[in-house]
């Protein structure tokens, strides 16, 4: 079939992921790039690449006019927005349509109806799906927020209507804090999203974040592709996503009810393409609608692993008018994704920089989505994610074991000076992820959204851990030397192979 070009309005790992499926289906690809991405892999990967502006996102990837102009100039027929940047902006959908381009995603109307958090709450109310209790719409000021909070009971969350990535969100425990929290959160939201409107939600304690992947045909037909649990978060942002959701293994009836709610919403708004309905599930198995992401999600690979589908292929075929809604796919086995970031593993603050060495795991059940294959640079201008590593196993235990090995095989290091020392600003959360996969609560599936906060051992700096482990090791050594029974201990390997000691050695080596 003679297929027309797809412009991918994004960068890095996302562009490569989408371009790979375009290639498989025979769609020529067009990349866009900014100054900072002049030598980026994603621009080389596509059939054509267009420079669209300077490094600041506003001047390039967030500039709808420039993106549309690049599509027109290259003869592209489709625009795939990826995720982030312009992917949830209705005005961008309209700009594409006005220029005669086909936007690969939902209509501008669906985006307004579901992408806007306050509007989405009203939509699900009308459809009879339960959402987190809270204000009906936006609240104008601290006093109004306090009134709602009084009614639903503290603690509450003040949330930005235009929020994303955990920005513009504040926990409030009492009436005395409302005013200043409102001011602060609203100011933060205004700065980050150009919109300071706020709403109030009851804070669900010890919650699980569970989301349902859906796909609609735009005519009222829709399927779901199972759930993902993304409860392991730092700064309200996901670092670990998996399916099946451990919490729903305990509450299978909740899972079925959530699927029905997700389908009700997707069909109800005649949604077109890939979308995700996010819910909060409490310890008793109650679930509440949180928001909808009207786009492909970062964590879509775990769904692809267990359903054997290619969500990007479904999106492209729907846009090209060649799509027929399949039946709800069966889900097989278990899949986990972790996000490898250029960030400090103790504070989670971005730590981008030049990469000297990078190596990803390989094997039949591991997938590394990245735009770095050789030395490159994690740019200060964009999201500091280096890669997503995902794994499939027949069971959760098997997936966890495979992930443990995969993370041990992964290497990302800054460049070295001529005398072999690591130089530069790059740091990664690799040691943190290695701790996570070995953590007892993670292994047992007891994963609430406050897990990281409540597990300081995950983030304690290596040096502190080193001191503790060294003290134990020295004490043991002393014991072996001086005691009678100690002399009978032949083999110290058992102690040496404990993970923290290996981490210690690794830390000391690097
Ligand atoms: P964003 O769009 O900024 O990511 P979300 O509404 O998706 O904001 O919330 C992000 C995360 O914050 C959720 O995954 C959850 O961990 C937490 N959260 C949000 N709302 C609530 C709530 N009402 N109660 C408890 N936790 C919440």
In a domain, 383, yes or no: yes
CATH of the domain at 192: 3.30.1490.20
Alpha carbons 99 and 296: distance in angstroms, whole number: 23
* Residue from 295, 396, 402, 435 carrying the catalytic annotation: 295
Instruction: Tell me, yes or no, whether 291 and 352 share the same domain.
Output: no
* Per-residue pLDDT of the chain in tens (510 residues, 90 and over written 9): 679 999 999 999 999 999 999 999 999 999 999 999 999 999 999 999 999 999 999 999 999 999 999 999 999 999 999 999 999 999 999 999 999 999 999 999 999 999 889 999 999 999 999 999 999 999 999 999 999 999 999 999 999 998 887 889 999 999 999 999 999 999 999 998 889 999 999 999 999 999 999 999 999 999 999 999 999 999 889 999 999 999 999 999 999 999 999 999 999 999 999 999 999 999 999 999 999 999 999 999 999 999 999 999 999 999 999 999 999 999 999 999 999 999 999 999 999 999 999 999 999 999 999 999 887 999 999 999 999 999 999 999 999 999 999 999 999 999 999 988 989 999 999 999 999 999 999 999 999 999 999 999 999 886 665 556 666 776 776 665 555 544 444 444 444 444 444 555 455 443
Q: Is residue 346 within 6 Å of ligand 1 at its C-beta?
A: no
Domain final residue pick, 306, 332, 358: 332
For 470, the token pair is: 């060294």
Answer whether the bond into residue 244 is a cis peptide, omega within 30°: yes
Other beta carbons less than 10 A from residue 509's beta carbon: 6
Q: How many angstroms is it from 477 CA to the middle of ligand 1?
A: 48
Exposed / middle / buried, residue 301 (Cβ in 10 Å: 0-12, 13-18, 19+): buried
Contact 229, 241 (CB under 8 A): yes
β pairing state of 287-293 and 272-281? antiparallel
For 339, the token pair is: 């996000």
In terms of Cα–Cα distance, which of 41, 45, 105, 51 is closest to 73?
51
Contact 176, 182 (CB under 8 A): no
Beta-carbon contacts of residue 253 (< 8 Å; ≥ 6 apart): 285
In a domain, 169, yes or no: yes
Instruction: Tell me, yes or no, whether 67 and 17 share the same domain.
Output: yes
Q: Which of the listed residues 134, 157, 212, 236 should we mutate to test ligand 1's pocket, taking the one with most ligand atoms within 8 A of CB?
A: 236
CATH of the domain at 71: 3.40.50.20
Beta-carbon contacts of residue 181 (< 8 Å; ≥ 6 apart): 142, 158, 170, 171, 172
Q: Is residue 166 within 6 Å of ligand 1 at its C-beta?
A: yes
In a domain, 114, yes or no: no
| Structural domain count, the chain | 5
Domain membership of residue 340 as a residue range: 335-459
Helix (H) or strand (E) segment spanning residue 171: strand 169-172
Instruction: Tell me, yes or no, whether 343 and 327 share the same domain.
Output: no
Alpha carbons 275 and 104: distance in angstroms, whole number: 12
Beta-carbon contacts of residue 225 (< 8 Å; ≥ 6 apart): 213, 214, 215, 303, 307, 309, 311, 328, 329, 331
Instruction: Tell me, yes or no, whether 445 and 486 share the same domain.
Output: no
Alpha carbons 414 and 358: distance in angstroms, whole number: 9
For 261, the token pair is: 């709610």
Residue 295 among the catalytic residues = yes
Instruction: Tell me, yes or no, whether 392 and 277 share the same domain.
Output: no
Q: Which of the listed residues 201, 290, 454 should we mutate to test ligand 1's pocket, taking the one with most ligand atoms within 8 A of CB?
A: 290
In a domain, 125, yes or no: no
Instruction: Tell me, yes or no, whether 260 and 287 share the same domain.
Output: yes
Instruction: Tell me, yes or no, whether 197 and 305 share the same domain.
Output: no
Instruction: Tell me, yes or no, whether 465 and 454 share the same domain.
Output: no
In a domain, 116, yes or no: no
Contact 67, 11 (CB under 8 A): no
CA-to-CA dists, residue 215 to 159, 273, 375, angstroms: 27, 5, 37
Q: How many residues does the chain have?
A: 510
Instruction: Tell me, yes or no, whether 83 and 170 share the same domain.
Output: no
Instruction: Tell me, yes or no, whether 470 and 491 share the same domain.
Output: yes
Other beta carbons less than 10 A from residue 475's beta carbon: 10
Domain final residue pick, 285, 314, 332: 332
Q: Is residue 449 within 6 Å of ligand 1 at its C-beta?
A: yes
Alpha carbons 147 and 144: distance in angstroms, whole number: 5
Q: Each residue of 5-15: b (16+ CB within 10 Å) or e?
A: bbbbbbbbbbb
Beta bridge partners of 200: 158
Q: Is residue 163 within 6 Å of ligand 1 at its C-beta?
A: yes
Instruction: Tell me, yes or no, whether 97 and 46 share the same domain.
Output: yes
Longest C-alpha distance within the chain, in Å?
Answer: 85
Domain final residue pick, 145, 168, 202: 202
Secondary structure percentages of the chain, helix, strand, coil, to 5: 40, 25, 35
Alpha carbons 211 and 178: distance in angstroms, whole number: 30
Instruction: Tell me, yes or no, whether 341 and 454 share the same domain.
Output: yes
């Amino acid at each position: 079939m003679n297929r027309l070009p797809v412009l991918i309005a994004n960068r890095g790992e996302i562009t490569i992921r989408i371009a790979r499926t375009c290639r498989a289906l025979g769609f020529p690809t067009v990349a866009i790039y900014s100054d900072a991405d002049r030598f980026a892999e994603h621009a080389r990967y596509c059939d054509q690449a267009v420079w669209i502006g300077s490094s600041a996102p506003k001047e390039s990837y967030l500039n709808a006019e420039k993106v549309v102009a690049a599509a027109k100039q290259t003869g592209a027929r489709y625009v795939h927005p990826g995720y982030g940047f312009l992917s949830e902006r209705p005005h961008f959908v309209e700009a594409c349509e006005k220029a005669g381009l086909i936007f690969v995603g939902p209509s501008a109307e669906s985006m307004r109806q579901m992408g806007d958090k306050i509007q989405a709450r009203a939509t699900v109310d009308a459809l009879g799906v339960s959402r987190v209790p809270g204000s009906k719409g936006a609240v104008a000021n601290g006093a109004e927020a306090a009134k709602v909070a009084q009614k639903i009971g503290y603690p509450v969350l003040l949330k930005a209507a235009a929020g994303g990535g955990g920005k513009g969100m504040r926990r409030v425990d009492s009436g005395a804090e409302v005013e200043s929290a409102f001011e602060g959160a609203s100011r933060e939201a205004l700065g980050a999203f150009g919109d300071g409107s706020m709403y109030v939600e009851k804070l669900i304690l010890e919650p699980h974040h569970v989301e349902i992947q859906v796909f609609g045909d735009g005519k009222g037909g829709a399927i779901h592709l199972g759930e993902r649990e993304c409860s392991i978060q730092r700064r309200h942002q996901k670092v670990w996503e998996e399916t099946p959701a451990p919490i729903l293994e305990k509450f299978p009836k909740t899972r079925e009810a959530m699927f029905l709610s997700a389908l009700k919403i997707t069909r109800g708004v005649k949604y077109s393409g890939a979308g995700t309905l996010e819910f909060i599930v409490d310890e008793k198995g109650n679930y509440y609608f949180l928001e909808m992401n009207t786009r492909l999600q970062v964590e879509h690979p775990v769904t692809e692993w267990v359903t054997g589908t290619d969500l990007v292929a479904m999106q492209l075929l729907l846009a090209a008018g060649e799509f027929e809604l399949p039946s709800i796919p069966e889900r097989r086995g278990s899949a986990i994704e972790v996000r490898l970031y250029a960030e400090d593993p103790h504070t989670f603050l971005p730590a981008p920089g030049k990469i000297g060495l990078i190596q990803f795991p390989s094997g039949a059940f591991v997938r590394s989505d990245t735009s770095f294959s050789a030395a490159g640079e994690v740019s200060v201008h964009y999201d500091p994610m280096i890669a997503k590593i995902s794994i499939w196993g027949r069971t959760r235990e098997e997936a966890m074991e495979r992930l443990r090995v995969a993370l041990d095989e992964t290497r990302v290091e800054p460049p070295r000076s001529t005398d072999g020392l690591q130089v530069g600003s790059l740091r990664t959360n690799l040691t943190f992820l290695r701790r996570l996969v070995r953590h007892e609560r993670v292994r047992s599936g007891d994963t609430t959204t406050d897990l990281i906060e409540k597990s300081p051992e995950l983030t304690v700096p290596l040096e502190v851990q080193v001191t503790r482990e060294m003290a134990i090791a020295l004490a043991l050594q002393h014991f072996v030397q001086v005691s009678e029974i100690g002399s009978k201990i032949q083999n110290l390997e058992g102690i040496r192979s404990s993970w923290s000691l290996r981490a210690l050695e690794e830390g000391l080596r690097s």
